Amino acid sequence: MTKIPGPPPLDGLKRRIAQQRQAKGARDGAHFVRETFCLTRDEARAKAREWFDSFPKAAYWTEVESWRQLDGDRIEFTMRRLPTAD
């Protein structure tokens, strides 16, 4: 009876991906703080304003990195900024 091998282990691939991501982050020199929210449209606007008021774009490179509209007039979005202003 021939044994059929299962899928190959992915540990090596996962380590390689993690190493590449870490090396890319070191090259970029900018490690961003990201936070994702899922709020109603009005709450989303208020949260974005809060981030821009707390972390001014000129100093922290604050931005809405991505967003999408969900059912029920909810917005899922990710805010991004630098951890400190240099």
- 63 and 38 Cβ atoms separated by less than 8 Å: no
Residue/partner pairs of 14-20 with CB below 8 Å, 24 or more apart: none
The answer as to whether 18 is a domain residue is: no
The answer as to whether 43 is a domain residue is: yes
User: Residue 78 is part of which domain span?
Assistant: 32-86
The answer as to whether 17 is a domain residue is: no
The answer as to whether 19 is a domain residue is: no
**3-class SS of residue 79:** strand
| Residue 81: CATH number of its domain | 3.30.30
pLDDT for 64 equals 96
Q: What is the pTM of this model?
A: 0.64
Residue/partner pairs of 67-72 with CB below 8 Å, 24 or more apart: 70/38
Q: How many Cβ atoms sit within 10 Å of the Cβ of residue 60? A: 20
The answer as to whether 73 is a domain residue is: yes
**Structural domains counted in the chain:** 1
pLDDT for 1 equals 63
Residue at 2: amino acid letter? T
Q: How confident is the model over 13-61, as pLDDT tens digits?
A: 778 877 776 666 555 555 889 999 999 999 999 999 999 999 999 999 9
The answer as to whether 46 is a domain residue is: yes
